[in-house]
Chains A and B, each alone.
Chain A
Amino acid sequence: MDQPVPLSADHHDPFAKPGALTPVGSEPIVRVADLQKFYGDNHVLKGVTLEVYPRETICLIGKSGSGKSTLLRCINFLEEPTVGLIEVDGLRVDADPLRARNRQHQEQIRQIRLRAQMVFQEFNLFPHMKVIDNLIEGPIRVKGVSRDQAIATAENYLAKVGLAEKRDEYPGRLSGGQKQRVAIARALTMEPKVLLFDEPTSALDPTLVGEVINVMEELAHEGATMIVVTHEMAFAREAADRVYFIEGGQFVEVGPPDQVIEDPRDPRTREFLARTFGKAHVPA
Protein backbone atom coordinates (compact mmCIF):
# COMPACT_ATOMS: atom_id res chain seq x y z
CA MET A 1 0.00 0.00 0.00
CA ASP A 2 2.87 2.38 0.70
CA GLN A 3 3.43 3.58 -2.80
CA PRO A 4 5.52 6.68 -3.37
CA VAL A 5 3.29 9.69 -3.18
CA PRO A 6 3.49 12.22 -6.01
CA LEU A 7 4.96 15.48 -4.76
CA SER A 8 3.12 17.64 -7.25
CA ALA A 9 -0.43 18.75 -6.70
CA ASP A 10 -0.92 19.66 -10.34
CA HIS A 11 -0.71 16.53 -12.41
CA HIS A 12 -4.26 15.39 -11.71
CA ASP A 13 -7.45 16.89 -10.42
CA PRO A 14 -6.86 16.91 -6.71
CA PHE A 15 -10.55 17.01 -5.94
CA ALA A 16 -11.36 13.89 -7.91
CA LYS A 17 -10.66 11.71 -4.89
CA PRO A 18 -12.60 9.34 -2.74
CA GLY A 19 -13.71 11.11 0.38
CA ALA A 20 -14.70 14.27 -1.40
CA LEU A 21 -18.44 13.74 -1.33
CA THR A 22 -20.26 16.45 -3.20
CA PRO A 23 -23.67 17.58 -2.02
CA VAL A 24 -25.71 19.10 -4.79
CA GLY A 25 -25.93 22.81 -5.25
CA SER A 26 -23.28 24.21 -2.94
CA GLU A 27 -19.66 25.15 -3.04
CA PRO A 28 -17.25 23.83 -0.44
CA ILE A 29 -16.11 26.39 2.10
CA VAL A 30 -12.93 24.52 2.94
CA ARG A 31 -10.84 22.61 0.44
CA VAL A 32 -7.68 20.77 1.26
CA ALA A 33 -6.01 19.32 -1.78
CA ASP A 34 -3.29 16.70 -1.82
CA LEU A 35 -1.80 18.04 1.36
CA GLN A 36 1.54 16.62 2.41
CA LYS A 37 3.63 17.42 5.44
CA PHE A 38 7.14 16.34 6.30
CA TYR A 39 8.87 16.88 9.62
CA GLY A 40 12.41 16.34 8.44
CA ASP A 41 12.32 12.82 7.02
CA ASN A 42 9.09 11.99 8.80
CA HIS A 43 6.27 11.89 6.27
CA VAL A 44 3.33 12.83 8.49
CA LEU A 45 0.67 13.63 5.88
CA LYS A 46 0.85 11.68 2.66
CA GLY A 47 -1.54 13.48 0.40
CA VAL A 48 -4.83 14.34 2.04
CA THR A 49 -7.84 15.74 0.23
CA LEU A 50 -10.85 17.06 2.04
CA GLU A 51 -13.85 19.22 1.25
CA VAL A 52 -16.14 20.75 3.80
CA TYR A 53 -19.42 22.40 2.86
CA PRO A 54 -21.06 25.25 4.75
CA ARG A 55 -22.96 24.17 7.88
CA GLU A 56 -21.23 20.80 7.93
CA THR A 57 -19.53 19.26 10.92
CA ILE A 58 -16.60 17.02 10.12
CA CYS A 59 -14.87 14.74 12.60
CA LEU A 60 -11.32 13.56 12.12
CA ILE A 61 -10.56 10.44 14.11
CA GLY A 62 -7.51 8.25 14.38
CA LYS A 63 -4.73 7.15 16.68
CA SER A 64 -2.29 9.63 18.15
CA GLY A 65 0.45 10.21 15.63
CA SER A 66 -1.84 9.42 12.70
CA GLY A 67 -1.60 13.01 11.45
CA LYS A 68 -5.09 14.24 12.34
CA SER A 69 -3.92 17.18 14.47
CA THR A 70 -1.23 18.03 11.93
CA LEU A 71 -3.88 18.18 9.21
CA LEU A 72 -6.01 20.51 11.31
CA ARG A 73 -3.03 22.72 12.16
CA CYS A 74 -2.08 22.87 8.48
CA ILE A 75 -5.52 24.23 7.60
CA ASN A 76 -4.78 27.49 9.45
CA PHE A 77 -1.05 27.24 8.82
CA LEU A 78 0.05 26.81 12.41
CA GLU A 79 2.09 24.16 10.62
CA GLU A 80 3.37 25.10 7.19
CA PRO A 81 2.40 22.28 4.84
CA THR A 82 5.13 20.93 2.56
CA VAL A 83 2.99 20.39 -0.53
CA GLY A 84 -0.61 21.06 -1.41
CA LEU A 85 -3.15 23.80 -1.18
CA ILE A 86 -5.65 25.11 1.29
CA GLU A 87 -8.72 27.09 0.41
CA VAL A 88 -11.00 28.66 2.97
CA ASP A 89 -14.03 30.68 1.90
CA GLY A 90 -12.65 31.43 -1.52
CA LEU A 91 -9.13 32.35 -0.37
CA ARG A 92 -6.62 29.88 -1.74
CA VAL A 93 -3.13 29.58 -0.30
CA ASP A 94 -0.60 27.16 -1.70
CA ALA A 95 1.92 25.43 0.49
CA ASP A 96 5.14 27.38 0.14
CA PRO A 97 7.61 26.21 2.78
CA LEU A 98 10.53 28.03 1.18
CA ARG A 99 8.82 31.37 1.51
CA ALA A 100 7.16 30.74 4.85
CA ARG A 101 8.54 34.01 6.26
CA ASN A 102 7.61 35.98 3.17
CA ARG A 103 5.48 38.98 4.07
CA GLN A 104 2.85 38.45 1.41
CA HIS A 105 2.53 34.76 2.28
CA GLN A 106 2.24 35.66 5.98
CA GLU A 107 -0.55 38.10 5.20
CA GLN A 108 -2.44 35.44 3.26
CA ILE A 109 -2.04 33.05 6.15
CA ARG A 110 -3.43 35.71 8.48
CA GLN A 111 -6.46 36.09 6.24
CA ILE A 112 -6.97 32.31 6.34
CA ARG A 113 -6.80 32.41 10.14
CA LEU A 114 -9.47 35.10 10.30
CA ARG A 115 -11.75 32.75 8.39
CA ALA A 116 -10.81 29.60 10.30
CA GLN A 117 -10.55 30.06 14.07
CA MET A 118 -8.89 27.39 16.20
CA VAL A 119 -9.87 25.97 19.58
CA PHE A 120 -6.92 24.27 21.25
CA GLN A 121 -6.61 21.21 23.43
CA GLU A 122 -4.84 23.25 26.10
CA PHE A 123 -7.29 26.22 25.81
CA ASN A 124 -4.40 28.72 25.57
CA LEU A 125 -6.36 31.55 27.12
CA PHE A 126 -4.25 34.60 27.94
CA PRO A 127 -3.69 34.24 31.70
CA HIS A 128 -2.89 37.92 32.28
CA MET A 129 -6.21 39.10 30.85
CA LYS A 130 -9.69 38.87 32.27
CA VAL A 131 -12.17 36.68 30.41
CA ILE A 132 -13.76 39.68 28.72
CA ASP A 133 -10.35 41.00 27.66
CA ASN A 134 -9.47 37.61 26.21
CA LEU A 135 -12.60 37.88 24.10
CA ILE A 136 -12.19 41.44 22.83
CA GLU A 137 -8.45 41.28 22.12
CA GLY A 138 -8.86 39.72 18.68
CA PRO A 139 -11.81 41.80 17.44
CA ILE A 140 -10.17 45.08 18.56
CA ARG A 141 -6.55 44.42 17.54
CA VAL A 142 -7.16 42.33 14.47
CA LYS A 143 -10.51 43.31 13.03
CA GLY A 144 -10.48 46.92 14.20
CA VAL A 145 -13.87 46.67 15.86
CA SER A 146 -14.71 49.47 18.30
CA ARG A 147 -14.32 48.64 21.96
CA ASP A 148 -18.01 49.02 22.77
CA GLN A 149 -19.00 46.86 19.83
CA ALA A 150 -16.41 44.21 20.76
CA ILE A 151 -17.63 44.09 24.35
CA ALA A 152 -21.25 43.72 23.24
CA THR A 153 -20.32 40.86 20.91
CA ALA A 154 -18.14 39.22 23.53
CA GLU A 155 -20.87 39.36 26.19
CA ASN A 156 -23.27 37.86 23.73
CA TYR A 157 -21.03 34.85 23.01
CA LEU A 158 -20.08 34.50 26.65
CA ALA A 159 -23.76 34.15 27.47
CA LYS A 160 -24.07 31.63 24.68
CA VAL A 161 -21.49 29.33 26.30
CA GLY A 162 -23.23 29.89 29.64
CA LEU A 163 -20.50 31.93 31.31
CA ALA A 164 -21.88 35.46 31.34
CA GLU A 165 -21.16 35.76 35.06
CA LYS A 166 -17.46 34.95 34.59
CA ARG A 167 -16.93 38.10 32.55
CA ASP A 168 -14.46 39.68 34.98
CA GLU A 169 -12.68 36.57 36.22
CA TYR A 170 -9.13 35.67 35.32
CA PRO A 171 -8.79 32.37 33.46
CA GLY A 172 -6.76 30.91 36.34
CA ARG A 173 -9.91 30.92 38.47
CA LEU A 174 -11.97 28.86 36.02
CA SER A 175 -12.33 25.09 35.76
CA GLY A 176 -10.99 23.32 32.70
CA GLY A 177 -14.44 23.02 31.18
CA GLN A 178 -15.12 26.70 31.76
CA LYS A 179 -11.77 27.65 30.24
CA GLN A 180 -12.54 25.67 27.12
CA ARG A 181 -15.98 27.26 26.82
CA VAL A 182 -14.35 30.69 27.10
CA ALA A 183 -11.87 29.61 24.42
CA ILE A 184 -14.79 28.64 22.17
CA ALA A 185 -16.42 32.01 22.84
CA ARG A 186 -13.11 33.72 21.99
CA ALA A 187 -13.03 31.94 18.64
CA LEU A 188 -16.68 32.85 18.01
CA THR A 189 -16.14 36.57 18.67
CA MET A 190 -13.95 36.61 15.56
CA GLU A 191 -17.04 35.46 13.65
CA PRO A 192 -15.13 32.97 11.53
CA LYS A 193 -16.47 30.96 8.62
CA VAL A 194 -15.09 27.73 10.05
CA LEU A 195 -14.25 26.53 13.53
CA LEU A 196 -11.32 24.17 13.99
CA PHE A 197 -11.26 22.07 17.16
CA ASP A 198 -8.03 20.32 18.10
CA GLU A 199 -8.99 17.62 20.61
CA PRO A 200 -10.97 20.16 22.66
CA THR A 201 -11.84 17.75 25.48
CA SER A 202 -8.62 15.74 25.77
CA ALA A 203 -7.11 17.92 28.49
CA LEU A 204 -10.29 17.88 30.57
CA ASP A 205 -11.25 15.96 33.64
CA PRO A 206 -13.85 13.36 32.49
CA THR A 207 -16.60 15.02 34.51
CA LEU A 208 -16.06 18.30 32.63
CA VAL A 209 -16.16 16.91 29.10
CA GLY A 210 -19.95 17.06 28.89
CA GLU A 211 -20.32 20.83 29.27
CA VAL A 212 -17.89 21.45 26.39
CA ILE A 213 -19.47 18.79 24.18
CA ASN A 214 -22.89 20.34 24.82
CA VAL A 215 -21.70 23.72 23.57
CA MET A 216 -20.14 22.12 20.50
CA GLU A 217 -23.27 20.12 19.70
CA GLU A 218 -25.36 23.23 20.00
CA LEU A 219 -23.06 25.02 17.56
CA ALA A 220 -23.19 22.10 15.15
CA HIS A 221 -26.98 22.04 15.24
CA GLU A 222 -27.16 25.78 14.67
CA GLY A 223 -25.27 25.30 11.47
CA ALA A 224 -21.73 26.33 12.32
CA THR A 225 -19.13 24.83 10.00
CA MET A 226 -16.78 22.78 12.15
CA ILE A 227 -13.79 20.53 11.67
CA VAL A 228 -13.22 18.57 14.85
CA VAL A 229 -10.29 16.36 15.77
CA THR A 230 -11.67 14.25 18.60
CA HIS A 231 -11.72 11.00 20.49
CA GLU A 232 -15.31 11.59 21.58
CA MET A 233 -17.16 9.05 19.45
CA ALA A 234 -20.46 10.00 21.06
CA PHE A 235 -20.01 13.53 19.74
CA ALA A 236 -19.06 12.26 16.28
CA ARG A 237 -22.13 10.05 16.20
CA GLU A 238 -24.42 12.82 17.38
CA ALA A 239 -23.11 15.83 15.48
CA ALA A 240 -20.90 14.84 12.57
CA ASP A 241 -22.08 14.88 8.98
CA ARG A 242 -19.02 12.91 7.98
CA VAL A 243 -16.29 11.11 9.81
CA TYR A 244 -12.80 10.75 8.42
CA PHE A 245 -10.66 7.98 9.82
CA ILE A 246 -7.00 8.79 9.28
CA GLU A 247 -4.04 6.50 9.71
CA GLY A 248 -0.42 6.83 8.64
CA GLY A 249 -1.11 10.26 7.19
CA GLN A 250 -3.87 9.14 4.84
CA PHE A 251 -7.62 8.82 4.99
CA VAL A 252 -8.52 5.19 5.32
CA GLU A 253 -12.26 5.47 5.58
CA VAL A 254 -14.70 8.30 5.04
CA GLY A 255 -18.43 8.40 5.47
CA PRO A 256 -21.38 9.29 7.64
CA PRO A 257 -20.91 8.38 11.30
CA ASP A 258 -23.41 5.52 11.30
CA GLN A 259 -21.28 3.89 8.64
CA VAL A 260 -17.71 4.69 9.80
CA ILE A 261 -18.35 4.31 13.50
CA GLU A 262 -21.14 1.74 13.58
CA ASP A 263 -20.20 -0.36 10.59
CA PRO A 264 -16.56 0.24 9.65
CA ARG A 265 -15.45 -1.50 6.46
CA ASP A 266 -11.71 -1.16 6.69
CA PRO A 267 -10.02 -3.53 9.14
CA ARG A 268 -7.82 -0.66 10.40
CA THR A 269 -10.88 1.40 11.30
CA ARG A 270 -12.40 -1.60 13.01
CA GLU A 271 -9.27 -2.20 15.03
CA PHE A 272 -9.06 1.47 16.06
CA LEU A 273 -12.68 1.59 17.13
CA ALA A 274 -12.45 -1.69 19.00
CA ARG A 275 -9.51 -0.28 20.94
CA THR A 276 -11.26 3.05 21.56
CA PHE A 277 -14.45 1.51 22.83
CA GLY A 278 -12.88 -1.54 24.42
CA LYS A 279 -14.99 -4.62 24.75
CA ALA A 280 -18.00 -2.54 25.70
CA HIS A 281 -18.53 -1.43 22.11
CA VAL A 282 -21.70 -2.94 20.76
CA PRO A 283 -22.50 -1.53 17.33
CA ALA A 284 -26.08 -0.37 17.34
Chain B
Amino acid sequence: MSEAARGGPAGARNEYDLTLARPEDIVRRVAVHRARSRRRFRTIFLLTWLVLVGALVIALAQSGKVDPAFIGKWGPFILGGIPVTLFVSVVSIIFAVVFALFGALGRLSGNPTIYAIATLYVSLVRGTPLIVQIIFVYLALPQFGIVLDPLTSGIFALSFNYGAYLTEIFRAGVEAVPRGQREAAAALGMQERSIMRRVILPQAIRIVTPAIGNDFISMTKDSALVSYVTIEEVFWRANNAGTQTFRNFEALMIAAVVYWVMTIVLSFGQERLEKRMAQSDVRV
Protein backbone atom coordinates (compact mmCIF):
# COMPACT_ATOMS: atom_id res chain seq x y z
CA MET B 1 0.00 0.00 0.00
CA SER B 2 1.40 3.43 -0.92
CA GLU B 3 1.87 6.33 1.51
CA ALA B 4 -0.81 8.41 -0.16
CA ALA B 5 -3.35 5.64 -0.06
CA ARG B 6 -2.85 5.24 3.71
CA GLY B 7 -3.44 8.95 4.18
CA GLY B 8 0.22 9.54 5.05
CA PRO B 9 2.20 12.74 4.56
CA ALA B 10 2.61 12.04 0.87
CA GLY B 11 -1.04 12.99 0.48
CA ALA B 12 -0.55 16.45 1.95
CA ARG B 13 -0.32 19.34 -0.47
CA ASN B 14 1.69 21.79 1.69
CA GLU B 15 2.96 22.15 5.23
CA TYR B 16 -0.26 23.81 6.45
CA ASP B 17 -2.49 21.13 4.99
CA LEU B 18 -3.36 18.81 7.84
CA THR B 19 -6.26 17.00 6.20
CA LEU B 20 -4.43 13.73 5.69
CA ALA B 21 -1.84 13.97 8.50
CA ARG B 22 -1.67 11.55 11.41
CA PRO B 23 -2.24 13.02 14.92
CA GLU B 24 1.37 12.55 16.01
CA ASP B 25 2.53 14.41 12.90
CA ILE B 26 0.15 17.24 13.70
CA VAL B 27 1.53 17.50 17.23
CA ARG B 28 5.08 17.60 15.91
CA ARG B 29 4.27 20.20 13.30
CA VAL B 30 2.46 22.41 15.80
CA ALA B 31 5.53 22.32 18.04
CA VAL B 32 7.82 23.21 15.15
CA HIS B 33 5.47 26.00 14.13
CA ARG B 34 5.39 27.47 17.66
CA ALA B 35 9.17 27.38 18.00
CA ARG B 36 9.51 29.07 14.63
CA SER B 37 7.15 31.93 15.52
CA ARG B 38 8.91 32.46 18.84
CA ARG B 39 12.26 32.74 17.04
CA ARG B 40 10.72 35.07 14.47
CA PHE B 41 9.35 37.34 17.19
CA ARG B 42 12.71 37.56 18.90
CA THR B 43 14.59 38.21 15.66
CA ILE B 44 12.27 41.04 14.66
CA PHE B 45 12.52 42.51 18.14
CA LEU B 46 16.32 42.58 18.02
CA LEU B 47 16.37 43.92 14.46
CA THR B 48 14.02 46.75 15.39
CA TRP B 49 16.25 47.78 18.26
CA LEU B 50 19.33 47.57 16.06
CA VAL B 51 17.73 49.68 13.34
CA LEU B 52 16.48 52.35 15.75
CA VAL B 53 19.69 52.65 17.76
CA GLY B 54 21.82 52.33 14.62
CA ALA B 55 19.84 55.07 12.88
CA LEU B 56 20.35 57.35 15.88
CA VAL B 57 24.09 56.68 15.95
CA ILE B 58 24.48 57.24 12.22
CA ALA B 59 22.39 60.42 12.33
CA LEU B 60 24.56 61.76 15.12
CA ALA B 61 27.78 60.83 13.33
CA GLN B 62 26.55 62.43 10.07
CA SER B 63 25.42 65.62 11.79
CA GLY B 64 29.01 66.74 12.19
CA LYS B 65 28.20 68.20 15.58
CA VAL B 66 29.48 65.25 17.57
CA ASP B 67 33.17 64.74 18.17
CA PRO B 68 33.99 61.03 17.91
CA ALA B 69 37.48 61.60 19.28
CA PHE B 70 35.94 62.64 22.59
CA ILE B 71 34.90 59.05 23.25
CA GLY B 72 38.42 57.77 22.87
CA LYS B 73 39.84 60.54 24.99
CA TRP B 74 37.34 60.76 27.86
CA GLY B 75 35.51 57.45 27.61
CA PRO B 76 37.89 55.51 29.89
CA PHE B 77 37.73 58.29 32.49
CA ILE B 78 33.92 58.16 32.61
CA LEU B 79 33.78 54.36 32.53
CA GLY B 80 36.19 54.41 35.47
CA GLY B 81 33.24 55.62 37.53
CA ILE B 82 31.38 52.31 37.10
CA PRO B 83 33.10 50.58 40.04
CA VAL B 84 32.36 53.60 42.22
CA THR B 85 28.68 53.64 41.16
CA LEU B 86 28.38 49.91 41.79
CA PHE B 87 30.21 50.13 45.11
CA VAL B 88 27.96 52.94 46.35
CA SER B 89 24.86 51.05 45.18
CA VAL B 90 25.83 47.71 46.70
CA VAL B 91 26.85 49.12 50.06
CA SER B 92 23.80 51.39 50.18
CA ILE B 93 21.32 48.62 49.39
CA ILE B 94 22.84 46.47 52.14
CA PHE B 95 22.45 49.24 54.72
CA ALA B 96 18.99 50.05 53.32
CA VAL B 97 17.93 46.46 54.01
CA VAL B 98 19.19 46.80 57.59
CA PHE B 99 17.31 50.09 58.07
CA ALA B 100 14.22 48.51 56.53
CA LEU B 101 14.41 45.46 58.77
CA PHE B 102 14.32 47.61 61.89
CA GLY B 103 11.82 49.98 60.30
CA ALA B 104 9.45 47.14 59.47
CA LEU B 105 9.73 45.60 62.93
CA GLY B 106 8.90 49.03 64.35
CA ARG B 107 5.96 49.46 62.01
CA LEU B 108 4.65 46.08 63.15
CA SER B 109 5.32 46.70 66.83
CA GLY B 110 2.51 46.85 69.35
CA ASN B 111 4.57 49.34 71.35
CA PRO B 112 3.21 52.83 70.56
CA THR B 113 6.57 54.58 71.01
CA ILE B 114 8.45 52.22 68.72
CA TYR B 115 5.63 52.34 66.21
CA ALA B 116 5.67 56.14 66.32
CA ILE B 117 9.44 56.31 65.75
CA ALA B 118 9.28 53.94 62.79
CA THR B 119 6.33 55.77 61.29
CA LEU B 120 8.07 59.13 61.72
CA TYR B 121 11.12 57.77 59.93
CA VAL B 122 9.08 56.56 56.97
CA SER B 123 6.99 59.71 56.78
CA LEU B 124 9.94 62.09 57.06
CA VAL B 125 12.09 60.33 54.49
CA ARG B 126 9.33 59.75 51.98
CA GLY B 127 8.08 63.30 52.38
CA THR B 128 11.34 65.01 51.42
CA PRO B 129 13.39 64.89 48.20
CA LEU B 130 16.34 62.52 48.07
CA ILE B 131 18.64 65.24 46.75
CA VAL B 132 17.79 67.43 49.75
CA GLN B 133 18.61 64.56 52.11
CA ILE B 134 21.94 63.87 50.42
CA ILE B 135 23.11 67.47 50.54
CA PHE B 136 21.68 67.89 54.04
CA VAL B 137 23.83 65.09 55.39
CA TYR B 138 26.94 66.48 53.74
CA LEU B 139 26.50 70.21 54.21
CA ALA B 140 24.04 70.77 57.06
CA LEU B 141 25.15 68.23 59.63
CA PRO B 142 28.65 69.76 60.00
CA GLN B 143 26.94 72.77 61.59
CA PHE B 144 26.30 70.42 64.54
CA GLY B 145 29.80 69.04 64.46
CA ILE B 146 28.85 65.93 62.51
CA VAL B 147 31.32 65.89 59.65
CA LEU B 148 31.12 62.93 57.31
CA ASP B 149 33.37 62.41 54.32
CA PRO B 150 31.62 62.45 50.92
CA LEU B 151 31.46 58.70 50.47
CA THR B 152 30.05 58.09 53.96
CA SER B 153 27.44 60.83 53.68
CA GLY B 154 26.40 59.71 50.20
CA ILE B 155 26.00 56.10 51.25
CA PHE B 156 24.28 57.06 54.48
CA ALA B 157 21.75 59.31 52.76
CA LEU B 158 20.99 56.81 50.01
CA SER B 159 20.53 53.87 52.37
CA PHE B 160 18.52 55.91 54.87
CA ASN B 161 16.23 56.97 52.05
CA TYR B 162 15.82 53.58 50.41
CA GLY B 163 15.43 51.98 53.82
CA ALA B 164 12.23 53.96 54.35
CA TYR B 165 10.70 52.75 51.09
CA LEU B 166 11.85 49.20 51.75
CA THR B 167 10.37 49.41 55.26
CA GLU B 168 6.89 49.44 53.83
CA ILE B 169 7.75 46.61 51.45
CA PHE B 170 9.16 44.52 54.30
CA ARG B 171 6.11 45.20 56.43
CA ALA B 172 3.88 44.01 53.61
CA GLY B 173 6.13 40.96 53.19
CA VAL B 174 5.78 40.01 56.86
CA GLU B 175 2.03 40.42 56.61
CA ALA B 176 1.98 38.25 53.49
CA VAL B 177 3.26 35.21 55.40
CA PRO B 178 0.16 33.06 55.95
CA ARG B 179 -1.42 33.34 59.40
CA GLY B 180 -1.19 29.58 59.85
CA GLN B 181 2.60 29.86 60.05
CA ARG B 182 2.46 32.08 63.11
CA GLU B 183 -0.23 29.86 64.64
CA ALA B 184 1.76 26.69 64.06
CA ALA B 185 4.85 28.22 65.66
CA ALA B 186 2.83 29.57 68.60
CA ALA B 187 1.13 26.18 69.02
CA LEU B 188 4.57 24.57 69.29
CA GLY B 189 5.12 26.87 72.25
CA MET B 190 7.57 29.21 70.54
CA GLN B 191 7.92 32.72 71.92
CA GLU B 192 7.15 35.84 69.95
CA ARG B 193 10.83 36.54 69.23
CA SER B 194 11.65 33.09 67.89
CA ILE B 195 8.44 33.03 65.87
CA MET B 196 9.53 36.22 64.13
CA ARG B 197 13.17 35.26 63.71
CA ARG B 198 12.84 31.58 62.83
CA VAL B 199 9.51 31.34 61.02
CA ILE B 200 8.14 34.67 59.78
CA LEU B 201 11.23 36.64 58.68
CA PRO B 202 12.86 33.89 56.57
CA GLN B 203 9.65 33.56 54.61
CA ALA B 204 9.08 37.31 54.41
CA ILE B 205 12.59 37.88 53.04
CA ARG B 206 11.92 35.35 50.32
CA ILE B 207 8.73 37.23 49.44
CA VAL B 208 10.44 40.62 49.23
CA THR B 209 13.65 39.57 47.43
CA PRO B 210 12.36 40.64 43.99
CA ALA B 211 11.47 44.05 45.44
CA ILE B 212 14.99 44.42 46.86
CA GLY B 213 16.31 43.62 43.36
CA ASN B 214 14.11 46.31 41.84
CA ASP B 215 15.27 48.84 44.39
CA PHE B 216 18.87 47.91 43.74
CA ILE B 217 18.40 48.68 40.06
CA SER B 218 16.82 52.07 40.87
CA MET B 219 19.64 52.66 43.31
CA THR B 220 22.28 52.39 40.56
CA LYS B 221 20.51 55.26 38.79
CA ASP B 222 19.75 57.35 41.88
CA SER B 223 23.37 56.99 42.93
CA ALA B 224 24.07 59.64 40.27
CA LEU B 225 22.75 62.11 42.84
CA VAL B 226 25.72 61.56 45.14
CA SER B 227 27.85 63.36 42.57
CA TYR B 228 26.57 66.47 44.35
CA VAL B 229 28.74 65.57 47.32
CA THR B 230 31.75 65.11 45.00
CA ILE B 231 31.80 61.33 44.86
CA GLU B 232 33.56 60.55 41.58
CA GLU B 233 31.08 58.12 40.13
CA VAL B 234 29.89 57.86 36.53
CA PHE B 235 27.76 60.99 36.40
CA TRP B 236 30.26 63.16 38.30
CA ARG B 237 32.98 62.18 35.85
CA ALA B 238 30.77 62.74 32.81
CA ASN B 239 29.63 66.08 34.10
CA ASN B 240 33.18 67.23 34.79
CA ALA B 241 34.53 65.97 31.49
CA GLY B 242 31.65 67.67 29.66
CA THR B 243 31.98 71.07 31.27
CA GLN B 244 35.77 71.10 30.97
CA THR B 245 35.70 70.40 27.24
CA PHE B 246 32.39 72.07 26.39
CA ARG B 247 31.39 68.68 25.02
CA ASN B 248 28.40 68.07 27.29
CA PHE B 249 26.46 66.10 24.72
CA GLU B 250 29.14 63.47 24.25
CA ALA B 251 29.86 63.20 27.96
CA LEU B 252 26.26 62.89 29.09
CA MET B 253 25.50 60.49 26.25
CA ILE B 254 28.24 58.18 27.47
CA ALA B 255 26.94 58.40 31.05
CA ALA B 256 23.40 57.65 29.90
CA VAL B 257 24.51 54.62 27.91
CA VAL B 258 26.54 53.35 30.87
CA TYR B 259 23.52 53.54 33.20
CA TRP B 260 21.28 52.01 30.57
CA VAL B 261 23.55 49.04 29.95
CA MET B 262 24.05 48.54 33.68
CA THR B 263 20.31 48.37 34.33
CA ILE B 264 19.80 45.98 31.42
CA VAL B 265 22.48 43.65 32.75
CA LEU B 266 21.14 43.88 36.31
CA SER B 267 17.54 43.31 35.18
CA PHE B 268 18.66 40.27 33.26
CA GLY B 269 20.45 38.95 36.32
CA GLN B 270 17.41 39.62 38.47
CA GLU B 271 15.13 37.81 36.04
CA ARG B 272 17.32 34.73 36.22
CA LEU B 273 17.50 34.91 40.01
CA GLU B 274 13.71 35.12 40.23
CA LYS B 275 13.32 32.17 37.89
CA ARG B 276 15.69 30.11 40.01
CA MET B 277 13.82 31.09 43.16
CA ALA B 278 10.48 30.21 41.56
CA GLN B 279 11.82 26.76 40.72
CA SER B 280 13.09 26.06 44.21
CA ASP B 281 10.07 27.75 45.76
CA VAL B 282 8.75 25.39 48.35
CA ARG B 283 5.31 26.41 49.45
CA VAL B 284 3.07 24.28 51.63
Q: Which residues of A contact B (CB under 8 A)?
A: 76, 78, 101, 110, 113-114, 117-118, 120, 122-128, 137-138, 141-143, 170-173, 179, 186, 190
Q: Which chain B positions have C-beta within 8 A of A113?
A: 186-189
CB of B281 within 8 Å of the partner chain: yes
Neighbouring B residues of A186 by C-beta, 8 Å: 188
Q: How many residues of B contact A (CB 8 A)?
A: 23
Residues on B lying within 8 angstroms of A by beta carbon are 110, 178, 180-181, 183-191, 194, 198-199, 202-203, 206, 281-284
**Additional A-B contacts beyond A137-B188, A172-B283 (18; CB < 8 A):** A76-B187, A101-B110, A110-B189, A113-B187, A113-B188, A118-B187, A124-B184, A125-B184, A127-B283, A128-B206, A141-B194, A142-B189, A143-B189, A170-B282, A171-B284, A172-B282, A173-B282, A190-B188
| B284 adjacent to A137 (CB under 8 Å) | no
Min CB distance A199 to B, Å, is: 13
Give the CA-CA distance A38 to B226 in the complex, in Å: 57
Known: A120-B180, A122-B180, A126-B199. A172 touches B284 (CB 8 A): yes
Q: With A and B bound together, what is the CA distance between A59 and B206 in angstroms? A: 39
Whole-angstrom CA separation of A118 from B282 in the bound complex: 23
Closest partner residue, chain B, to A121 (CB atom): B180
A171 CB contacts on chain B under 8 angstroms: 282, 284
- Distance from A92 Cβ to chain B, minimum over Cβ atoms (Å): 18
Shortest CB-to-CB span from A84 to chain B, Å, is 20
Given contacts A101-B110, A137-B198, A171-B284, contact A126 B181 (CB under 8 A): yes
* Pair A78/B187 contact, Cβ less than 8 Å: yes
When distances are taken between beta carbons in the complex, the residues of chain A under 8 Å from B283 are 127, 172
Q: Is the CB of B181 within 8 A of A124?
A: yes
On chain B, the residues within 8 Å of A118 by CB distance are: 184, 187
Report how far A177 CA is from B191 CA in the complex, Å.
29
Closest to A171 in B: B284
Q: With A171-B282, A173-B282 given, is the CB distance from A120 to B183 under 8 Å?
A: yes
Q: Which 9 residue pairs of A and B lie closest in terms of their CB atoms, listed nearest first?
A: A172-B282, A124-B184, A138-B188, A170-B282, A124-B180, A118-B187, A142-B189, A114-B189, A113-B189
A171–B185 Cα gap in the complex (Å)? 16
